[in-house]
Structure 1
Amino acid sequence: MLAHTQHSTVCPARAPQQQCHRPFAASPRRARLQPVRAAAASVDTDSALSVIKSCVAKPGAVPAPVVLDAMLQLEAAKLPNEGWLELLQAPGTHWKLVFTADAKQVQAAKKKQPNKGGVYFPIAACQKFDAAQADFENGVFLGPIASLTFNGPYAMKGKQLTFDVVKMNIGLGPWRFSIPFKKDAKGIAEMDPQDAKKLPFFLYAYIDRDIVVARGRSGGLAVWQRASKDWEAKAGVLAVYK
């Protein structure tokens, strides 16, 4: 946005050494170009979302560099985050990891350098957010055979969701047991602010009812899809996430 400043120009009706001050205003040509730029940004966002939705609809169908570029476009769009937390932690909603790109690939893509773009995640990984308990759980699943998840408290401020890992949960067939990492685990709001700053986090670029795009603390980017009940049953998620 152009700030209104005072711009000094020479007044033709006065002596050459005299000056008058007129407020700066955008030229008609500049004013006409502004809506065009806004429209172009909107088209880029729509195109990026179309790529991401194609990526989750048929994993592997969209080349990895194209998916990564779409994620970067969504980040650059700086979209409003109204209602994102409610979508993220909607009752019964679990998020299946579909695609990841590590920090090196992200930086190469931003610099327009050659890169692999990332990978479609090869095994079943899923996360959930329990609003009632303020508890985040994330892990990998091998159908009815085994699972490994980690959980702890979380809190969201703006577009950043900070979380802690206080417990590891292991599943082997019908058996489940947990290993605590922290005996004096606290909620995020109860922690010392300096300690909270050291925790892992997700910085979200986009969330809707079906997909999530976020950057992790390490600098990598990822895409999640809202998991279907059929997929959860086959992956073994339903046996763990109630």
Structure 2
Amino acid sequence: MKEVAKTRKVPPAQVLVALVSIKKRKVEPSPGRTWMLIFTFQGKLNKGRYFPITAVERFDTAAKRIENGVYLGPAGSLTFEGKFSWKNRILAFIFQNVRTKLGPFGPLQIDLGQTEREPTAKYPFFIWFSIDEEIAVAQELSSVVVGN
């Protein structure tokens, strides 16, 4: 998976084989760091593709905060921020606000009004299969993500 993240040249079929092996592992590490989305799978893990733009996920384990963002260089960005819970390899999250930035203009923040609820597995979540200092492999509700 490290080669997948570094080169983006591993054929998707080989990534799938590696993912199936990784999915069988038992891990219980903390997700607390920053990961860039590299590869996604759809459906029953039979199709996948390299993610075409810069997308980053940040986790602050002390504050139980999550931030997911898509970054388009100087053109702008779109980020979602909220809180998360972590239990049995499942990271559940609720986004509380969204920020958008276009060009040189300051960010516009919109409150999503999710301040009172605690995230559980009934909300969007990731199941983590492998995490180390360079690579994280997790499955979202409908896709699998590989990041570095």
Shift of 1:177: 1.6
The match for 1:80 among 27, 31, 34 is 27
Does the 8 A contact of 1:154 with 1:187 survive in 2?
Answer: no
Query: Does the 8 A contact of 1:103 with 1:221 survive in 2?
Result: no
- Name the structure with the higher strand share: 2
2:99 maps to 169
Structure 1's consecutive aligned runs of 4 or more residues displaced over 6 angstroms after TM superposition are none
Whose RCO is larger (CA < 8 A, sep 6+)? 2
The answer for the alignment partner of 2:10 in structure 1 is 62
Partner in structure 2 of residue 102 of structure 1: 42
C-alpha distance in structure 2 between counterparts of 1:80 and 1:145, whole Å: 38
Q: Within 5 A, what are the aligned runs for 1:219-230?
A: 220-225=143-148
Is contact 1:141–1:147 with CA below 8 Å preserved after alignment? Answer: yes
- 1:146 pairs with 2:76: yes
| Residue 120 (structure 1) shift | 0.5
Distance 2:138 2:14 in 1: 16
Higher helix share: 1
| TM superposition score normalised by structure 1 | 0.57
Give the counterpart letter for 1:203 in structure 2: I
Q: How far is the alpha carbon of 1:151 from its aligned partner? A: 1.2
The number of aligned residues is: 147
How much has 1:79 moved relative to structure 2? 2.4
Shift of 1:187: 5.4
CA distance in 1, matches of 2:53, 2:71: 8
Report the Cα distance in structure 1 between the residues aligned to 2:62 and 2:101, rounded to whole angstroms: 24
Once the two structures are TM-superposed, the CA of residue 207 in structure 1 deviates from its matched residue by 0.3
Please give the alpha-carbon distance, in whole angstroms, between the structure 1 residues aligned to 2:82 and 2:35: 16
User: Using the alignment, how far apart are the partners of 2:64 and 2:27 within structure 1?
Assistant: 23
Conservation of the 8 A alpha-carbon contact between 1:153 and 1:187: no
Q: State the distance in 1 between where 2:103 and 2:27 align.
A: 43
Per-residue Cα deviation, 1:93-130 (whole angstroms, up to 9, x for no partner): 421100001124x1xx4xxxxxxx30000001001012
Q: How far 1:166 sits from its partner (Å)?
A: 1.6
Give identity over the alignment, percent: 34
Structure 2 gaps of 5+ residues are none
What secondary structure, in the 3-state scheme, does the structure 2 residue paired with 1:80 have?
coil
Counterpart in the other structure of 1:239:
none
| Runs (5+) with no aligned partner, structure 1 | 1-51, 110-116, 226-242
Q: 1:212 to 1:64 in 2, by over 3 A?
A: same
Larger Rg: 1
Q: Is the 8 A contact 2:27 2:128 kept in 1?
A: no
Q: Which residue of 2 aligns with 1:21?
A: none
Q: Deviations over 1:54-83 (max 9, x none)?
A: 111201x2100110121111112x3232xx
- From 112, 122, 127, give the equivalent of 2:52: 122
